[in-house]
Chain A
Amino acid sequence: MSAAPAYSEDKGGSAGPGEPEYGHDPASGGIFSSDYKRHDDLKEMLDTNKDSLKLEAMKRIVAMIARGKNASDLFPAVVKNVACKNIEDPNQLIRASALRVLSSIRVPIIVPIMMLAIKEAASDMSPYVRKTAAHAIPKLYSLDSDQKDQLIEVIEKLLADKTTLVAGSVVMAFEEVCPERIDLIHKNYRKLCNLLIDVEEWGQVVIISMLTRYARTQFLSPTQNESLLEENAEKAFYGSEEDEAKGAGSEETAAAAAPARKPYVMDPDHRLLLRNTKPLLQSRSAAVVMAVAQLYFHLAPKAEVGVIAKALVRLLRSHSEVQYVVLQNVATMSIKRRGMFEPYLKSFYIRSTDPTQIKILKLEVLTNLANETNIPTVLREFQTYIRSMDKDFVAATIQAIGRCATNIGRVRDTCLNGLVQLLSNRDELVVAESVVVIKKLLQMQPAQHGEIIKHLAKLTDNIQVPMARASILWLIGEYCEHVPRIAPDVLRKMAKSFTAEEDIVKLQVINLAAKLYLTNSKQTKLLTQYVLSLAKYDQNYDIRDRARFTRQLIVPSEQGGALSRHAKKLFLAPKPAPVLESSFKDRDHFQLGSLSHLLNAKATGYQELPDWPEEAPDPSVRNVEVPEWTKCSNREKRKEKEKPFYSDSEGESGPTESADSDPESESESDSKSSSESGSGESSSESDNEDQDEDEEKGRGSESEQSEEDGKRKTKKKVPERKGEASSSDEGSDSSSSSSESEMTSESEEEQLEPASWSRKTPPSSKSAPATKEISLLDLEDFTPPSVQPVSPPAIVSTSLAADLEGLTLTDSTLVPSLLSPVSGVGRQELLHRVAGEGLAVDYTFSRQPFSGDPHMVSVHIHFSNSSDTPIKGLHVGTPKLPAGISIQEFPEIESLAPGESATAVMGINFCDSTQAANFQLCTQTRQFYVSIQPPVGELMAPVFMSENEFKKEQGKLMGMNEITEKLMLPDTCRSDHIVVQKVTATANLGRVPCGTSDEYRFAGRTLTGGSLVLLTLDARPAGAAQLTVNSEKMVIGTMLVKDVIQALTQ
């Protein structure tokens, strides 16, 4: 060591590695002479070929660096072995470790090497190495901020990464290096939302808080329409429906009812974020829960914010530090959204074992939550708190009582009386605090409380706490006309003890004297002069000043000061009552859960939470380019292309590197979830994946869709299209579907549940173009009136089915039959045009899930006016329904011009029976009695299940629940395709894959009861066949058998 004074331990020891060693080139020889030997072993280990030795050596070096030891003599060895060799090591852990060591060496000269290494690692095959690269970015940035541009490039690249391992780290790097580059997020927004749940906890926190900021810049405020809602309350003419619909939906319904204003529709991406973060409220990590809570608080519509309350209350069971932070945030939230925490009032009750700071915060929350209804219980609680041993806490309680009293007029007198009683408390602090609070309360209505002021006046003899004395004096002075006899006496006493008082009291004595002099100069003139003279020679200049000033004001001098004439106005001006406010009132302009919010001051590096934009920026920036293959319309081709993809992801199990290098694989999490999931749930797990994909597809096929749009317009010679802008039909359609608040993201929503997507699979009609037509018609029901491309459901479901098919079976012949277009029962007449005096009404069972209520069968009603006068005010009149059956009426059609047609959707809950729903169809002038009787096949919705599941379920439904019938299949009806088509046309069932070729299986659930209906058709050679239906509902089973046989044998 002595041999190398220039570069010895004393320097490294004191400065540590934190201070970069400038001016030395550690690689230059000669200076390590003695140190050299010390780390010989490490160098040897680095030079070996053994992975484990290298790893260990590097770990030790990192540990040394961290401990503040000077590791710079190892620098060349590390760089040689690490930067040059290990970064290309075949083992990913070594590569990662090498990068970590390299980036921990805070020496400016290696910046270029580091940059190179980071860039290389960022495109490494292993996600773990990429994660390490992300970690290295802030390190390099802090070392040399000139590299920012290059680093942003790397960040951009890593942001596009699809693995959960990387996501958290790269967003952290983003936040450190370039939080202002919000544009980098656009393309990755949806991916981040979808990955979120599988990212590790720390990453989740960072991502969520970044996405909160992002959302604030990109989406419109969900609360902007709330005022609008109130205005339009009377316009919401189908209010009864709204009650059934989800709370949030009503907002949008009302918005849709007032088409004149631009209706607020939540951006599907906005909804995506809210939906994907919600499960994280169940996280074990308090930080994640808090992050989600603040996201909901800042981004969610009012009606949905409530969900966070429960989770936050749960955190109150945690360590006291966590409680402290959570309570601070709850305090802020409870000011704005009191209703949210009201049900949890009791969770904020204070225990004697709580630390004082927690007690005071809980008190704050309790005070915020107090309202007219719960104030008695709250006050009763406060009563017990006042007797606590913790005096700080008692003082805070008294203030809390004061605040309750000012906020809730009803209890003001009760509180005041309570506080007055406290005045006789033995503890001076309690008394003093009460006096201060009473003073504030009295200021609000002094007239009625002369007695209390008298009582307070008596206290001046006993109370010694200056603040309290000062408060009493001020009160007496201010309201001296209410206590005309006592006031001068108090002044007399105070004059006597003036010199011994505290400054604050002295000032109030002068005040009192001045006020009394002005109102009652006869009695107090001498006293006042005495007090003023005493004050004139006081030690404190404030008091001398005040005395001089007061004297000039009140004692008229010969110069006839202009001011003294107004003295009374000056001193006895009516003063506004103080407002007792929470100290948390304005804290919500800081992002909740942030350090700045906690401190109520801007912390370094705090990113302001932006205000909502007036106009939403272009949402298409978040669209992701679609891989080529999704565009090909041919189903077969697509399927072929997908197959290898799936077998890929299935084949790789666990942590293989190939998973992430595969450019098509969606994400590690997905492959993980599908590989780890039990056999039964493979479908539900993997739909996540499908969803992703379809979304992309949906966005990508936008152009395709618009083309089709055009086609449809021409093809469908339905004049209703004209209603585009104004017709109530359009508005009502969208509003009725919007009653399920999440309409904008409908398509994604649907795909979440396997049952519901398969319900979509068989849209009715015969030929391919017709399928398109119908599905697009439905799409139109679901599409919000504004913007946002939503993937056409038909396309989605076909490819989805193909995907799933690729997953579950190998029999490729099934595809066409599975997907073959199926029609429900064709148009049926509801009202003949003769009977209807020109109004003809048909209905079809659309087999779409009814958006308002999943138990309802959705019925499309087609009106056409063949008369020569417009028909006005078409609506459903008071239905007389059998027990259990209910109707969701279609919204009123205001007017139907001659020759026009219109379509409306209504939902009927048939309660799993084939009873007819009778109702009146009313126009402005007439009423028609009509009835809809459903074929049994329409009372169910298809269910997707695997063969095994099917067999299992079938096993449960034996005996009485099984109905078997033999039949002969006519020659025309022996091909797969036709059988399947006939069955699905008769009944709304989903095909279940099946190993044997001459067996057909279908499954569905009844809409209301949700009981399974399983149908098996076992076709034997020569046309003999056996039909089996298994269902809990025997009536349905029997009828279904009859219907199906009829369909097949016709």
Chain B
Amino acid sequence: MIHSLFLINSSGDIFLEKHWKSVVSRSVCDYFFEAQERATEAENVPPVIPTPHHYLLSVYRHKIFFVAVIQTEVPPLFVIEFLHRVVDTFQDYFGVCSEPVIKDNVVVVYEVLEEMLDNGFPLATESNILKELIKPPTILRTVVNTITGSTNVGDQLPTGQLSVVPWRRTGVKYTNNEAYFDVIEEIDAIIDKSGSTITAEIQGVIDACVKLTGMPDLTLSFMNPRLLDDVSFHPCVRFKRWESERILSFIPPDGNFRLLSYHVSAQNLVAIPVYVKHNISFRDSSSHGRFEITVGPKQTMGKTIEGVTVTSQMPKGVLNMSLTPSQGTHTFDPVTKMLSWDVGKINPQKLPSLKGTMSLQAGASKPDENPTINLQFKIQQLAISGLKVNRLDMYGEKYKPFKGIKYMTKAGKFQVRT
């Protein structure tokens, strides 16, 4: 299956390689570099590149290319999914996944990679099992290891691998037993010039942080499960019970995990919490353009909109912008032509606005397109779809856990065309 893995940074250096079968020469990456050159931007590098003897499958995350080399037919998503799992694992182990961090922890990285694949076939990819096998580095352990010369390899046998619930460690103990659930909904929308919604959908996830002793069996039920149109589960969720009773019944993994991601059915009208008024115009003759945007709340169910940022890719013809915001800060990068405005909270009494002029390239004709505006925002304590968790019950353990639930609405891919 997966022969080798190369990690390539944005400047084109291979800073780590790992082979699960025989060694594949680095020169195979030349094909990748070629493709990278052809694609102007990093995300335009095709994820699958055929070469005469190998196939290169890559993912681009955290400014690092993870390039897997395979030799025979294998479902491409299999490899891509695995590579993403590798990145997630690194992130889980080291907090961030970046070149210096990987270089610093190269031993652990190798150990983890070795356990994740056996002869190119995924072996232990659940982070709970991996952490049992190879302990994540901490400062204390690093110090101890350098002194004693021991490694991060766990000295207990990884019994988790044999478990029927491979996602949960055995013998978990906490003094404070707590289970937190975050219901996070993202609004994906495209708003057209006139402010009408072209498409809007809500995608939600329930992220959980469960720190419970022993083997708890949790049941989470919703007030309105019918809202959930399309769901995908963490493997721990019992599908049958969802099918028959619309409740989530599961033995949770230990720690942070994504319990569920869902899509709210398209029939429901999506409330759009913000509107953007814009007036962007380029005049034909002069080398100046007018720029004015105002952001305001629309349907917010009485909550405040926070963390608003507006970004926009300006046309190439724009040389510079001189703008004054009524609140927040703004930047314009004349090289990438990226305008970003960090608005902060929206005060309905005094709507934030950004006004000013653009200076255009002299002589060039006016750009024929207007930029699209991308919006980010957050609304606390609100799930815009109206989803509500009814109750959380725990079976199998005696103690009373502390339970918490938090709702949040965010902008996903929220775009306003101008």
Chain A residues engaging chain B, CB cutoff 8 angstroms: 16-19, 51-52, 55-56, 59-60, 62-63, 66-68, 91-94, 100, 103-104, 106, 126-128, 132, 135-136, 138-139, 142, 165, 169, 172, 197, 200-202, 205, 209, 279, 282-287, 289-291, 310-311, 313-314, 317, 319-322, 324-326, 343, 346-347, 349, 351-353, 355-357, 381, 384, 387-389, 425-427, 593-596, 598-599, 601, 603-607, 654-655, 668-669, 671-672, 675-678, 681, 684-685
| B80 / chain A contacts, CB cutoff of 8 Å | 286-287, 319, 321-322, 325
Whole-angstrom CA separation of A17 from B20 in the bound complex:
11
Q: Other than A66-B110, A205-B75, A669-B164, give 13 A-B pairs with Cβ distance below 8 A.
A: A135-B118, A202-B125, A279-B243, A284-B232, A286-B80, A346-B266, A349-B199, A355-B43, A426-B365, A604-B73, A668-B164, A676-B251, A677-B238
List 6 A–B pairs whose Cβ atoms lie within 8 Å, in order of A's numbering: A93-B158, A291-B75, A347-B201, A387-B369, A603-B55, A669-B164
B187 to chain A, nearest CB (A): 12
Contact check: which of B50, B155, B243 meets A599 at CB < 8 Å?
B50
In the complex, whether B335 has a CB less than 8 A from a CB of chain A is: no
Flag if A351 contacts B415 (CB, 8 Å). Answer: yes
Whole-angstrom CA separation of A319 from B59 in the bound complex:
9
| A205 / chain B contacts, CB cutoff of 8 Å | 75, 77-78
In the complex, whether B72 has a CB less than 8 A from a CB of chain A is: yes
For window 80-119 of chain B, which residues contact chain A by CB distance below 8 Å?
Answer: 80-84, 110-111, 113-114, 118-119
In the complex, whether B283 has a CB less than 8 A from a CB of chain A is: no
B255 to chain A, nearest CB (A): 16
- Look across to chain A and name the residue whose beta carbon is closest to the beta carbon of B166: A200
- Look across to chain A and name the residue whose beta carbon is closest to the beta carbon of B156: A52
Flag if B164 contacts A676 (CB, 8 Å). Answer: yes
Flag if A135 contacts B121 (CB, 8 Å). Answer: yes
In the complex, whether B130 has a CB less than 8 A from a CB of chain A is: no
| B395 / chain A contacts, CB cutoff of 8 Å | 678
Top 9 A-B pairs ranked by shortest CB distance? Answer: A18-B22, A605-B72, A387-B369, A672-B164, A346-B199, A321-B47, A606-B73, A202-B122, A287-B77
Flag if A290 contacts B77 (CB, 8 Å). Answer: yes
Whole-angstrom CA separation of A678 from B394 in the bound complex:
11
Contact check: which of A92, A279, A684 meets B244 at CB < 8 Å?
A684
Flag if A388 contacts B369 (CB, 8 Å). Answer: yes
Flag if B232 contacts A283 (CB, 8 Å). Answer: yes
Flag if B22 contacts A601 (CB, 8 Å). Answer: no
Flag if B241 contacts A681 (CB, 8 Å). Answer: yes
Contact check: which of A19, A284, A427, A595 meets B258 at CB < 8 Å?
A284
In the complex, whether B137 has a CB less than 8 A from a CB of chain A is: no
Whole-angstrom CA separation of A321 from B365 in the bound complex:
37
Whole-angstrom CA separation of A7 from B318 in the bound complex:
66
Flag if A598 contacts B118 (CB, 8 Å). Answer: no
- Among A100, A142, A200, A313, max chain B CB count under 10 A is at A200
| A321 / chain B contacts, CB cutoff of 8 Å | 47, 58-60, 80, 83-84
| B190 / chain A contacts, CB cutoff of 8 Å | 349, 351
Asked whether A128 and B153 contact (CB < 8 A) given A18-B19, A283-B232, A324-B46, the answer is no
Chain B residues engaging chain A, CB cutoff 8 angstroms: 1, 18-23, 41, 43-44, 46-48, 50, 55, 58-61, 70-78, 80-84, 110-111, 113-114, 118-119, 121-123, 125, 151, 153, 155-159, 161-166, 188, 190, 192, 198-199, 201, 203, 217, 219, 229-235, 238-241, 243-244, 249, 251, 258, 261, 263, 266, 313, 315-316, 365, 368-370, 372, 374, 395, 413, 415, 417
B127 to chain A, nearest CB (A): 14
Whole-angstrom CA separation of A320 from B110 in the bound complex:
26
- Look across to chain A and name the residue whose beta carbon is closest to the beta carbon of B201: A347
Asked whether A352 and B153 contact (CB < 8 A) given A135-B121, A678-B395, the answer is no
Whole-angstrom CA separation of A526 from B415 in the bound complex:
60
Contact check: which of A18, A319, A593 meets B21 at CB < 8 Å?
A18
| A92 / chain B contacts, CB cutoff of 8 Å | 162
B47 to chain A, nearest CB (A): 4
| B61 / chain A contacts, CB cutoff of 8 Å | 319
Contact check: which of A138, A282, A286 meets B77 at CB < 8 Å?
A286
Asked whether A351 and B413 contact (CB < 8 A) given A389-B316, A678-B395, A685-B240, the answer is yes
- Among A103, A138, A311, A325, max chain B CB count under 10 A is at A325
Flag if A68 contacts B48 (CB, 8 Å). Answer: no
Contact check: which of B47, B219, B230 meets A311 at CB < 8 Å?
B230
Flag if B119 contacts A655 (CB, 8 Å). Answer: no
Q: Is the interface of A mostly helix, strand, loop or mixed?
A: helix
| A324 / chain B contacts, CB cutoff of 8 Å | 46-47
| B123 / chain A contacts, CB cutoff of 8 Å | 135
- Among A59, A94, A388, A425, max chain B CB count under 10 A is at A59
Flag if A655 contacts B22 (CB, 8 Å). Answer: no
Flag if A353 contacts B232 (CB, 8 Å). Answer: no
Flag if A287 contacts B78 (CB, 8 Å). Answer: yes
- Look across to chain A and name the residue whose beta carbon is closest to the beta carbon of B126: A200
Asked whether A128 and B161 contact (CB < 8 A) given A135-B119, A357-B46, the answer is yes
Whole-angstrom CA separation of A426 from B239 in the bound complex:
56
| B258 / chain A contacts, CB cutoff of 8 Å | 284
Flag if A52 contacts B84 (CB, 8 Å). Answer: no
| B48 / chain A contacts, CB cutoff of 8 Å | 325, 595, 598-599
Asked whether A595 and B163 contact (CB < 8 A) given A68-B19, A197-B239, the answer is no
- Look across to chain A and name the residue whose beta carbon is closest to the beta carbon of B75: A593
| A654 / chain B contacts, CB cutoff of 8 Å | 163-164
Whole-angstrom CA separation of A596 from B123 in the bound complex:
25
Contact check: which of B59, B121, B261, B313 meets A169 at CB < 8 Å?
B121
| A317 / chain B contacts, CB cutoff of 8 Å | 188, 203
Asked whether A353 and B198 contact (CB < 8 A) given A314-B232, A321-B47, A678-B249, the answer is no
- Look across to chain B and name the residue whose beta carbon is closest to the beta carbon of A290: B77
Flag if A655 contacts B162 (CB, 8 Å). Answer: yes
A818 to chain B, nearest CB (A): 24
A427 to chain B, nearest CB (A): 7
| B235 / chain A contacts, CB cutoff of 8 Å | 200-201, 283-284
- Look across to chain B and name the residue whose beta carbon is closest to the beta carbon of A93: B157
B93 to chain A, nearest CB (A): 16
A428 to chain B, nearest CB (A): 12
Asked whether A91 and B75 contact (CB < 8 A) given A202-B122, A655-B162, the answer is no
Contact check: which of A67, A142, A351, A594 meets B73 at CB < 8 Å?
A594
A285 to chain B, nearest CB (A): 6
- Look across to chain A and name the residue whose beta carbon is closest to the beta carbon of B262: A314
Asked whether A655 and B23 contact (CB < 8 A) given A205-B75, A290-B77, A347-B201, the answer is no
Whole-angstrom CA separation of A603 from B162 in the bound complex:
35
- Look across to chain B and name the residue whose beta carbon is closest to the beta carbon of A655: B162
Whole-angstrom CA separation of A324 from B81 in the bound complex:
12
Contact check: which of B78, B111, B151, B159 meets A93 at CB < 8 Å?
B159
Whole-angstrom CA separation of A706 from B155 in the bound complex:
60
Flag if B75 contacts A287 (CB, 8 Å). Answer: yes
Whole-angstrom CA separation of A273 from B230 in the bound complex:
22
B384 to chain A, nearest CB (A): 16
Contact check: which of A51, A322, A356 meets B157 at CB < 8 Å?
A51
B358 to chain A, nearest CB (A): 15
Whole-angstrom CA separation of A17 from B23 in the bound complex:
8
Asked whether A322 and B81 contact (CB < 8 A) given A594-B73, A598-B48, the answer is yes
| B417 / chain A contacts, CB cutoff of 8 Å | 384
Flag if B81 contacts A676 (CB, 8 Å). Answer: no
Whole-angstrom CA separation of A165 from B47 in the bound complex:
31
Whole-angstrom CA separation of A285 from B234 in the bound complex:
9
Flag if B232 contacts A63 (CB, 8 Å). Answer: no
Flag if A595 contacts B55 (CB, 8 Å). Answer: yes
Contact check: which of A18, A59, A63, A349 meets B198 at CB < 8 Å?
A349
- Look across to chain A and name the residue whose beta carbon is closest to the beta carbon of B122: A202
Asked whether A356 and B233 contact (CB < 8 A) given A52-B157, A282-B239, the answer is no
Whole-angstrom CA separation of A314 from B231 in the bound complex:
9
Whole-angstrom CA separation of A389 from B370 in the bound complex:
9
Whole-angstrom CA separation of A313 from B243 in the bound complex:
21
| B50 / chain A contacts, CB cutoff of 8 Å | 599, 601, 603
